[in-house]
Amino acid sequence: MHIVVCTKHTPDSEAKMSVDEAGNVSWGESPLIINPWDEYAVEEALLLREKYGGTVTVISMGPEEALEALKHAIAMGCDEAIRIWEESCADSDTLATSYVLARAIEKMGDVDLVLFGKSAIDAETWQTGPAVARRLGYPSLMYTIKIAELDPDGRTITVERLLEEGRQVVSAPLPAVVGTTKGINEPRYTSFIGIRKAARMEYPLWTLADIGAEADKVGAAGSAVRWPQIFMPPVREGEAEIIEGETVAETARILVEKLLAEKVI
């Protein structure tokens, strides 16, 4: 089995985000980390490797900061890591990013399974996974909360994926793109040995030429979406109106009256 995990780096989920007047986004002192959703994808890849053997390659399109994500994945136990970047990749939307990732996966050639986290906690589009699946022509199995069956010899996978009404059970041939979600596993911590390995590891850099990508499909040129303005949401002023009756029953009745007056019931 050759499993590829696509990942990216993001500010920590606790980061206090702000925007200056020029529209530059800042995450203060918070560190850049592996996108938290991607840890589920990495963990699932490692669990599958433990069960079926093979290798796990983690890839990321991004500037040097993307190494944070790759190092974390290596420290968790992935075998190989590849970064794909050149300056012209900047300002890629998911259309362009999915093109680059799909080209890189095609270059590897022998891939059985491509794993994604559900989304990245920065832009939260949820779009790169399904877009890569479409580009590769692989089945798209997003929001997977359980890999119910995997048959590397029979070349099939069965997953349970989350939809609003419940879990859809889907079988598909390999290779496939699986988007993982929380609940599929409990991501392991990095080990001391893993961190040391990650520190010593070589992180090959693939350029657009390396993956045979056309320049006009990458970066701003290859992107359809522009984001001209990023701003802080309006803050709601004031604190909660604290309801306090003589008894709990009276408190409850006062609240019910207020909610009926708000016409939300």
Interaction residues for another protein, span 75-94 (CB under 8 A):
93-94
Closest among 61, 65, 76, 56 to 30, alpha carbons compared: 65
Instruction: State which of residues 192, 202, 233, 246 lies at the interface with another protein (CB under 8 A).
Output: 233
Min CB(188)–another protein separation in Å: 15
Q: Taking CB under 8 A as the rule, does residue 109 contact another protein?
A: no
The residue (of 55 and 171) whose beta carbon lies closer to another protein is: 171
Instruction: State which of residues 53, 87, 202, 231 lies at the interface with another protein (CB under 8 A).
Output: 231
The residue behind tokens 């790169």 is 128
Q: Which residues neighbour 188 within 8 Å (Cβ) at sequence distance 6 or greater?
A: 43, 46, 76, 77
Instruction: State which of residues 54, 63, 167, 203 lies at the interface with another protein (CB under 8 A).
Output: 167
Instruction: State which of residues 86, 160, 197, 203 lies at the interface with another protein (CB under 8 A).
Output: 160
Instruction: State which of residues 52, 125, 152, 203 lies at the interface with another protein (CB under 8 A).
Output: 125
User: Using CB under 8 A, which of the segments 41-49, 58-66, 155-163, 193-201 binds another protein?
Assistant: 155-163
Site residues for another protein, 17-36, by CB under 8 A, read 17, 19, 25, 36
Q: What are phi and psi of 79, to 5 degrees?
A: -85, -45
Q: Taking CB under 8 A as the rule, does residue 183 contact another protein?
A: yes
**Cα–Cα distance measured from residue 201 to residue 197, given in angstroms and rounded to the nearest whole number:** 6
**Cα–Cα distance measured from residue 261 to residue 243, given in angstroms and rounded to the nearest whole number:** 15
Q: Taking CB under 8 A as the rule, does residue 246 contact another protein?
A: no
Q: Taking CB under 8 A as the rule, does residue 242 contact another protein?
A: yes
* Token representation of residue 90: 């900047």
**Cα–Cα distance measured from residue 69 to residue 104, given in angstroms and rounded to the nearest whole number:** 17
Sign of CA dihedral 17, 18, 24, 28: negative
